[in-house]
Structure 1
Amino acid sequence: MERPLIAMSAALEVLGTAFGDRDCTKLGADYTNAVYAAGGQPVIMPVSPAPVSGILSRMDGLVLTGGGDLDPSLYGEEPDKAVYGIRKDRDAFETALYQEAIALGMPILAICRGLQLVNVLRGGTLLQQIEDEQSHWQENPPTNMSHAITVASGSSLAATFGNAGEAKVNSYHHQAVKDLGAGLQVTAVCGDVIEAVEAADADLVGVQWHPEHLASTNDQQAGLFTQFVQRAAEFRTTV
């Protein structure tokens, strides 16, 4: 059986090269390794200044990955001094990917920045700086857990986690969902911080932590990718 093709967004960052500082496509191998281990074939989508219609026509699923902050103008605000890594070109490219995936009914897994992008594109806003950032930006390695989350019963996330009401996750974010976007349901929290969402009108799961760093050693986190790839395989049979 052929592996479903999983489109994966990537950061565009200025990196030192033999030709000087240049914009370069950058995506940690933990992302692609997690998708491949789950049975998918990762396809990295470099930022394009003018994404063409149909860019996902041969794909079966979309992963919106983590990275720098979104441009606050997307949700009508000026940037706080803590905001970093804004790339309007990436914002625009991933917006096009998201919109096409939604139009196709394609499964979407949104991670960290990806969850925040989905929320904003659905009319939500972000808390630009969490007051207690220390508890959400861990200093130990990303393969270690940072804090517990409470998982909503009856959610897709709960089913993936074996209907556990609580789970441990890592944490590397200084921003969080503030006002929830249209059609989204909160499926996990850590105190007042929204840690996961799902869409009532789309095949979409978004998580605020980084499961790609945990998938090789934790069955719950690996399950996020396994379930997503399985849905992508099912989607492939319907188009």
Structure 2
Amino acid sequence: MDRRPFIGVSTYLVDVSWSDWRGRRVALVPERTTAYVRDAGGVALLLPPDAPERAPEVLARLDALVISGGPDMDPAYYGQSPHPRTEADSPERDHWETALVRAALACGMPLLGICRGMQLMNVVCGGSLVQHLPDVVRPDVHAGSPGRYGTHVVRPLPGTLLGGLLPEPELTVPTFHHQAVDRLGEGLRVNALAPDGTIEGIEGTGFTLGVQWHPEQGEDLRVMQALVRAATAARTVPLMPVEAPLDPPTRAGVSAAART
């Protein structure tokens, strides 16, 4: 039997205070993220920050790439000074994930950006971000509350990759962000909007997809299943450089056999 595709997942980098780990910096992701990959048929391999020049070598061992959510990106990457509410405290992630996205785009690797990951994809392609949504959107339904994801409606756009994966006119998604795409990066297009006009999804050539919400926190597997399919197909088709509906499956419907 063919192996399940290897999906690289970028990690958070956080200081922790657990027992004998107190005061140490730890690379991790929420368990929901790795379960999301597993339940959709992939194998999650964690990618903690590394030397940016190693990104092509790392991707050569993978079938697809996920850039995870997390803290704000340094606005210097898109030519701005920090907003008072911007929390850009992970330069190692910024350097590493920027290199990963550039390398993935250069070789045509299937790519999914989640929340911060979508924003970073947009910046790598020359776009910019709204640094604090409450300055431009009222009421703000995007941020959730401390320790808890919020929910709001998104509207996938017909005729896009995402619109084909999520063909319903509206769906309610888990959300936790205070920044968003502002100026769209080169070669990208919008594929989903919130009712208030906030850009909720972007995509590029091939399977280059970003979503502003957190699909891994919900039950809908369709986005990750599509990435797994693209990763499987990419193993049999040489990766080429790129310019910079069934009933919705849910975790509840994934059998134990499908997880092994």
Q: What is the TM-score normalised by the length of structure 2?
A: 0.84
On the 8 A contact 2:115/2:214 being kept in 1, the answer is yes
Give the CA deviation at 1:20: 3.9
Question: Comparing both structures, which one devotes a greater share of its residues to strand?
Answer: 1
2:228 match: 229
Over the residues paired in the alignment, what is the CA RMSD in angstroms? Answer: 1.6
On the 8 A contact 1:66/1:114 being kept in 2, the answer is yes
Give the CA deviation at 1:169: 1.0
* Distance of 2:40 and 2:21 partners within structure 1: 37
Amino acid at match of 2:25: D
Give the CA deviation at 1:197: 0.6
Within a 5 Å distance, the mapping from 1:109-148 to structure 2 comes to 109-131=112-134, 132=138, 134-139=140-145, 141-142=148-149, 146-148=151-153
On the 8 A contact 2:122/2:181 being kept in 1, the answer is yes
Q: What is the TM-score normalised by the length of structure 1?
A: 0.91
Is the aligned partner of 1:177 residue 2:181?
yes
Amino acid at match of 2:230: R
* Distance of 1:10 and 1:64 partners within structure 2: 8
Give the CA deviation at 1:80: 0.7
Within a 5 Å distance, the mapping from 1:149-164 to structure 2 comes to 149-161=154-166, 163-164=167-168
Distance 1:72 1:85, change over 3 A: closer
**SS state of the match for residue 201, structure 2?**
strand
Please list every run of 5 or more consecutive structure 1 residues that lacks an aligned counterpart in the other structure.
Answer: none
On the 8 A contact 1:102/1:202 being kept in 2, the answer is no
Within a 5 Å distance, the mapping from 1:47-126 to structure 2 comes to 47-52=49-54, 53-126=56-129
**SS state of the match for residue 135, structure 1?**
coil
2:242 match: none
Q: Could you tell me the percent identity over the aligned residues?
A: 35
Please list every run of 5 or more consecutive structure 2 residues that lacks an aligned counterpart in the other structure.
Answer: 239-260
Is the aligned partner of 1:195 residue 2:200?
yes
- The 4+ residue runs of structure 1 with deviation greater than 3 A are 139-142
For each residue in 1:148-201, what CA deviation from the matched residue of structure 2 results, as whole angstroms up to 9, or x when unmatched?
11211111111111x2121111210000111111111101111220000111x3
2:27 match: 25
Q: How many positions carry a matched residue from both structures?
A: 230
For each residue in 1:43-78, what CA deviation from the matched residue of structure 2 results, as whole angstroms up to 9, or x when unmatched?
000111454241110100000000000001000111
* Distance of 1:192 and 1:160 partners within structure 2: 21
